[in-house]
Chains A and B, each alone.
Chain A
Amino acid sequence: MRLLTHNFLKCNEENCTGGYPLQIKLDDTSSENVKILEQDFNKEFVKNVLSKVDYDVLYNTAKQFGISLLFSYTSQHLEDEGFLNSIHHALFKIHIMEGSLICPQCHVSFPIKDGIPNMLKGN
Chain B
Amino acid sequence: MAPSCTLNRYLLLMAQEHLEFRLPEIKSLLSLFGGQFASSQETYGKSPFWILNIPSEDIARNLMKRTVCAKSIFELWGHGQSPEELYSSLKNYPVEKMVPFLHSDSTYKIKIHTFNKTLTQEEKIKRIDALEFLPFEGKVNLKKPQHVFSVLEDYGLDPNRIPDNPHNIYFGRWIADGQRELIESYSVKKRHFIGNTSMDAGLSFIMANHGKVKENDIVFDPFVGTGGLLIASAHFGAYVYGTDIDYNTVHGLGKATRKNQKWRGPDENIRANLRQYGLEKYYLDVLVSDASKPSWRKGTCFDAIITDPPYGIRESTRRTGSQKEIPKGIEKWYTEEMVPWHPCLKLISNCEQKLSSHTSRRLITMEKVQKFENRDQYSHLLSDHFLPYQGHNSFREKYFSGVTKRIAKEEKSTQE
Q: Is A87 an interface residue (CB 8 A)?
A: no
Does A39 sit within 8 A of B, measured CB to CB? yes
- Interface pick from A26-34, A41-49, A66-74, A78-86: A41-49
Q: Per a CB cutoff under 8 Å, which of B287, B294, B300 touches A117?
A: B287
B251, A114: Cβ atoms closer than 8 Å: yes
Residues of chain B within 8 A (CB-CB) of A1 are 285, 287
Q: Chain B residue with minimal CB distance to A91? A: B284
Q: Name the distance in Å between B250's Cβ and chain A's nearest Cβ.
A: 6
For residue B294, which residue of chain A has the nearest CB? A12
Q: Nearest CB to that of A11 among chain B residues?
A: B295
Q: Output the least CB separation between A105 and chain B (Å).
A: 13
Q: Are A116 and B284 in contact (CB under 8 A)?
A: no
Taking A45-B216, A116-B251, A120-B245 as contacts, is the C-beta distance between A5 and B284 under 8 angstroms?
Answer: yes
Cβ contacts under 8 Å, B286 to chain A:
116
Does A10 count as interface, using CB distance less than 8 angstroms? Answer: yes
- Chain B residue nearest to A45 (CB atoms) is B216
Q: How far is the CA of A113 from the CA of B245 in the complex (A)?
A: 15
CA distance A20 to B218 in the complex (A): 21
Closest chain-B Cβ to A55's Cβ sits at a distance in Å of: 12
**Pairwise interchain contact A2-B288, C-beta atoms closer than 8 A:** no
A 91-123 binary contact with B (CB < 8 Å = 1; else 0): 000000000000000000000011111111000
* Residues of chain B within 8 A of A114, CB atoms compared: 251
Q: Does A4 contact B (CB under 8 A)?
A: yes
- CB within 8 Å for A120 and B288 given contacts A8-B297, A9-B295: yes
Q: B133 contacts the other chain (Cβ, under 8 Å)?
A: no
Chain B nearest CB from A119 CB (Å) reads 4
Q: Tell me if A119 and B216 are in contact (CB < 8 A).
A: no
B239 and A45 contacting across the interface, CB-CB below 8 Å: yes
Instruction: For the complex of A and B, list the 8 residue pairs with the smallest distance between their C-beta atoms, beginning with the closest.
Output: A10-B297, A119-B289, A118-B288, A5-B285, A12-B295, A8-B300, A119-B295, A45-B216
Seen from chain B, the residues whose Cβ lies within 8 Å of a Cβ on chain A are 216, 218, 239, 241, 243, 245, 247, 250-251, 281, 284-290, 293-297, 299-301
What 14 new A-B contacts, CB under 8 Å, besides A1-B287, A5-B285, A44-B216?
A2-B285, A10-B295, A11-B295, A12-B289, A40-B281, A45-B239, A49-B218, A52-B299, A114-B251, A116-B285, A117-B285, A119-B287, A119-B288, A119-B293
